[in-house]
């Protein structure tokens, strides 16, 4: 017996049901989206919150020990979005800290600006370096009983055209702050750490690449500019 229902009937009913669902979804979705926008507290909002930071009230040289934080820093209120992630907030926490890099006036003090005293020898080394100076290692093979806290000349030695050693003072009258020795490739080396200005670092590095170093006591009344 032949059915009286057309063959396309199930598809027609399916399309009708799908159309109803689509219309319903179209009506509901804007309402849900509208509720989400109205309920959100961070959408389209501007963060106007503030926080307090410590700002340098003067230029602070590298190596400066902060004995009285109030003389170097002041508390200032800034927008929270302008405060660095590692900015320091406690003024008293800066007591007897040492500056690891130059801090310009008006800048916010951060954890990276302070010397990290994770090991005792680094702490002792930085404490021995005067403010405004940085430690620089001098590797050489001239041994002797050298005392720290004395002035020495760092001499660059290289061969001339005839193969004879030629010495030139590249770091005159620098302060000797530390000394130790070590063995490398079967040879014993002396390492002396001197305090130099940041602007002398490039001179010292270039001199070490063009020859080797020796150290000596400065002659009385002798003064020579660094190369």
| Domain residue spans of the chain | 50-113, 130-216
∠ CA 99-101-105, nearest 5°, is 85
User: What digits encode the pLDDT tens for the residues 188-201?
Assistant: 667 889 999 999 99
The pLDDT value recorded for residue 208 is 86
**Average pLDDT estimate for 114-123:** 72
Q: Which of 202, 204, 184 is nearest to 194 (CA)?
A: 204
Mean pLDDT of the chain: 76
Tell me the CA distances in angstroms from 97 to 24, 26, 194, one per residue in order: 67, 64, 21
**Region 80-84: what's the mean pLDDT?**
87
Q: What is the dihedral of CA 181, 209, 151, 63, to 10 degrees?
A: -90
* HEC readout, the chain: CCCCCCCCHHHHHHHHHHHHHHHHHHHHHHHHHHHHHHHCCCCCCCCCCEEEEEEECCCECCCCEECCHHHHEEEEEEEHHHCCCCECCCCHHHCCEEECCCECCCCECEHHHECCCCCHHHHHHHHHCCCCCEEEEEEECCCCCCCCCCEEEEEEEEECCCCCEEEEEEEEEEEEEEEEEEEECCEEEEEEEEEECHHHHHHHHHHHHHCEEEEECCCCCCCCCCC
Tell me what pLDDT residue 147 has.
80
Bridge partners of 139? 191
Spatial contact of 195 and 201, defined as CB atoms under 8 Å apart: no
The pLDDT of residue 146: 75
Q: 173: left (phi > 0), else alpha (psi -120 to 50), else beta?
A: left
Asked if 148 contacts 128 with a C-beta cutoff of 8 angstroms, the reply is yes
Token representation of residue 112: 């990276």
Tell me the C-alpha distance between 78 and 82, whole Å. Answer: 7
Q: What band does 69 get if pLDDT is binned at 50, 70 and 90?
A: very high
Protein fold of 50-113? Type Iii Antifreeze Protein Isoform Hplc 12 (3.90.1210)
Interval 34-45 mean pLDDT: 52
């Amino acid at each position: 017996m032949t059915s009286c229902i057309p063959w396309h009937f199930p598809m027609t009913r399916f399309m009708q049901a799908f159309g109803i669902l689509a219309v319903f979804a179209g009506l509901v979705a804007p309402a849900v989206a509208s509720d989400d926008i109205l309920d959100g507290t961070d959408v389209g909002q501007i963060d106007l919150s503030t926080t307090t930071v410590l700002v340098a009230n003067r230029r602070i040289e590298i190596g400066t020990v902060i004995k009285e934080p109030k003389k170097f820093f002041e508390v200032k209120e800034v927008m929270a979005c302008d405060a660095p992630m590692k900015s320091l907030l406690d003024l008293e926490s800066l007591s007897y800290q040492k500056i690891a890099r130059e801090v310009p006036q008006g800048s916010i003090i951060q954890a990276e600006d302070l010397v990290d005293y994770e090991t005792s020898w680094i702490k002792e080394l930085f404490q021995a370096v005067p403010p405004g100076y940085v430690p620089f290692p001098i590797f050489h093979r001239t041994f002797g009983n050298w005392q720290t806290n004395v002035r020495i000349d760092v001499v660059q030695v290289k061969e001339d055209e005839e193969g004879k050693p030629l010495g030139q003072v590249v770091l005159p009258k620098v302060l000797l702050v530390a000394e130790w020795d070590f063995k490398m490739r079967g040879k014993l080396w002396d390492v002396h750490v001197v305090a130099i200005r940041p602007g002398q670092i490039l001179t010292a590095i270039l001199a070490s690449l063009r020859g080797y170093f020796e150290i000596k006591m400065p002659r009385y009344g002798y003064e020579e500019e660094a190369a």
